[in-house]
Amino acid sequence: MAHRVRGTAPDPRHMAHPVRGTTPGPRPMAHRVRRRRQGRRLALTGALLAAVLVLTTGAALSLALSAPPGVGAPGPSASASAKDAVLTAIGGAPAGDGAAASEVRLAAAVTTAAAPAPITTTSADSAGPVAPSPATKVSAAAFVRPATKDGPVPSNLRPTVTAARKDYPAPYYDGCHVLMDGVRPTGACVYGATMSKTTIVLFGDSHALSWFPAVLKLANDRGWRLVSLTMSACSPADIPEWIPAASSVSQACSDWRTWAIGRIAREKPLVALVTGTRGFATVGPDGSVLKGDARMQTWEAGMERTLDRVGRYAGRVIYLSDTPASPIDPPTCLAQNPRSVLACATPVSEAVNAPWMAEERHVAITENDGFIDTTTWVCPSSPCPVTVGNYLVYRDGGHITATFVASLGPRLEAAVAADIARHPPREAAP
């Protein structure tokens, strides 16, 4: 049977479920309700603590970074050291954007945990944003974005404005990403070190697939086998997916989701990365399209069921936050505003849905899973830019380009490494 590491506290989820390969029973409903209430109390407490941290430490840290020498502040060398430490903590500055990096402020304490292996950082003049230290954990609530700089569209923009539309991850082209009306992929959908005994799974909709280039880099660096399981317009949450264009529930989505979780059960991955868009639609028992709290509660219950099922077979489940969105078409906007990238930026409050991200975090914590906030990688300044360094972030308003995501590989690898260092994956049952 599965064993936990000696000296560690037992994981409630592992105690709640039998050994892999046996038929698990349903969790008591009362226990689930208690967990939800406790999770919400913890989330509220965390938000209050984060606000206190911002108010009490933000001014002091900003002073340490920016005040001139001789006025209650460190001298030039000490100030530079403090600034370097903060930049390292949040992952550094985008390539070619040193000026913006010098304005970064971090109003939070930084905690560390040892990572299982070194993470290779990316050179600032070649592959994009520098990866954060694998040992660093930063509270997203305390991250203060610097102002987005204006300027012309970079002459070396990657991908170009005209190429962005087709800058898809590989599974779009090889048949492994299932389209809206599909049911099964056409291939094995195995990437990375295909003969490795260690597997990582990417599971979700097209927003999950957007992370494929970064996950592939992680798999290649670690010598892991990658299995990509994604479908367009199909939330990983166990909910009826309503397709507005067809005015019907997608049976294909439900069938695919069942098949994908069955594939995860056969793979028994070391890590499963799960995510999906907040732009889903679903219906209630009477077939009516849900709105507001009813929609959110249905998603919450459905995602808990999905994470619960995936958690029976994966050594560690990690939920990735949904990415910031743009209300416009960024490539078109840049083509129309070649002298001002700021003309295409989006206010953070509009691009990042804070209540939705809090719900994502709550569900992951409720299920004892990991949670990685990716929003500060995609939107590192305010307003949220459509270019970061010489990278074009979006191929359309809801999806990020494969080229930009590939540059985030070191950051994702560092975050996953830090998570599994703090929460070692459970051993697989024989």
pLDDT given at position 247: 87
Pairing of strands 271-275, 316-320: parallel
Q: How confident is the model at residue 427 (pLDDT cuts 50, 70, 90)?
A: low
**Mean pLDDT highest for which of 136-150, 198-212, 242-256, 290-304?**
198-212
pLDDT given at position 15: 36
Residues 45, 106: Cα–Cα separation, whole Å: 20
Residues 172, 197: Cα–Cα separation, whole Å: 26
Report the half-sphere exposure of 77 (CA within 13 A, side-chain side).
Answer: 0
- Neighbour-count burial of 32, counting CB atoms closer than 10 A to its CB (0-12 exposed, 13-18 middle, 19+ buried): middle
Sequence-ordered list of residues with C-beta below 8 angstroms from that of 61, at least 6 positions apart, any chain: 86, 105, 106, 107
pLDDT(9) > 60:
no
For the chain, give every residue range classified as CATH 3.40.50.1110: 151-422
Residues 191, 171: Cα–Cα separation, whole Å: 10
β partners of residue 241: 282
3-class state of residue 392 by DSSP: strand
Higher pLDDT, 239 or 95: 239
**And the tokens for 356?**
């939705």
Residues 89, 102: Cα–Cα separation, whole Å: 14
Output DSSP code: residue 105: E
The residue-averaged pLDDT of 181-192 equals 91
Q: What is the pLDDT of residues 84-135, one digit of tens each?
A: 333 333 233 333 333 333 222 222 222 223 333 333 323 333 333 333 333 3
Output DSSP code: residue 343: G
The residue-averaged pLDDT of 138-160 equals 85
Q: What is the mean pLDDT of the chain?
A: 76
**And the tokens for 95?**
């390539």
pLDDT given at position 245: 83
pLDDT given at position 29: 40
Residues 403, 169: Cα–Cα separation, whole Å: 9
CATH architecture for residues 151-422: 3-Layer(aba) Sandwich (3.40)
The residue-averaged pLDDT of 222-248 equals 93
**And the tokens for 173?**
């082209």
Q: How confident is the model at residue 323 (pLDDT cuts 50, 70, 90)?
A: very high
The residue-averaged pLDDT of 45-58 equals 42
Q: Do 199 and 227 form a contact (C-beta atoms < 8 A)? A: yes
- % of residues, the chain, pLDDT over 70: 66
Number of neighbours of residue 25 by Cβ within 10 angstroms: 9
pLDDT(196) > 70:
yes
The residue-averaged pLDDT of 333-362 equals 96
Q: How confident is the model at residue 142 (pLDDT cuts 50, 70, 90)?
A: low
**And the tokens for 351?**
């691009």
Torsion region of 189: left, alpha or beta (phi above 0 gives left; psi -120 to 50 gives alpha):
left
Q: What is the pLDDT of residues 11-26, one digit of tens each?
A: 433 333 333 333 344 4
Q: What is the DSSP string of 175-215?
A: T-EEPTT--S-SS--EEESTT-S-EEEEEESHHHHTTHHHH
Q: Do 90 and 96 form a contact (C-beta atoms < 8 A)? A: no
